[in-house]
């Protein structure tokens, strides 16, 4: 049986591997959604920015598992570098 401290440690580990919102820098929220037949037949996960007042957009990533949703959230487009032209 899992104790409260086990759940707290798991939540802390999850928070450590979750990157902040790419737009406002706020913390991310991971949620599990349960099926709602007949439309959905499986559980899915989302990661969102809960900072509705501070964030100018509502970013969200989803996946069929917690790991997939976190991997999608943590993926960032590489920063573009500027190349100066030689005269």
pLDDT tens digits along 32-76: 988 776 666 778 889 998 877 777 788 889 998 888 999 999 987
pTM here is: 0.63
Domain assignment present for 29: yes
Give Cα separations from 14 to 54, 57, 61, 78 (angstroms): 23, 23, 16, 23
Count CA within 13 A, CB hemisphere, residue 83.
Answer: 3
Task: Provide the residue range defining the domain that includes 31.
Answer: 19-74
User: With bands split at pLDDT 50, 70 and 90, how would you rate the model's confidence at 84?
Assistant: low
Structurally, the chain folds into a number of domains equal to: 1
Domain assignment present for 32: yes
Domain assignment present for 37: yes
Length of the chain: 87
Domain assignment present for 28: yes
């Amino acid at each position: 049986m899992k104790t409260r401290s086990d759940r707290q440690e798991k939540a802390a580990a999850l928070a450590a591997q979750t990157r902040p919102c790419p737009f406002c820098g706020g913390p991310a929220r991971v949620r599990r959604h349960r099926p709602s037949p007949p439309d959905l037949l499986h559980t899915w996960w989302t990661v969102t920015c809960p900072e509705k007042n501070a964030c100018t957009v509502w970013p969200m990533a989803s996946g069929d598992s917690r790991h997939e949703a976190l991997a999608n959230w943590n993926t960032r487009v590489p920063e573009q570098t500027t190349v100066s032209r030689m005269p």
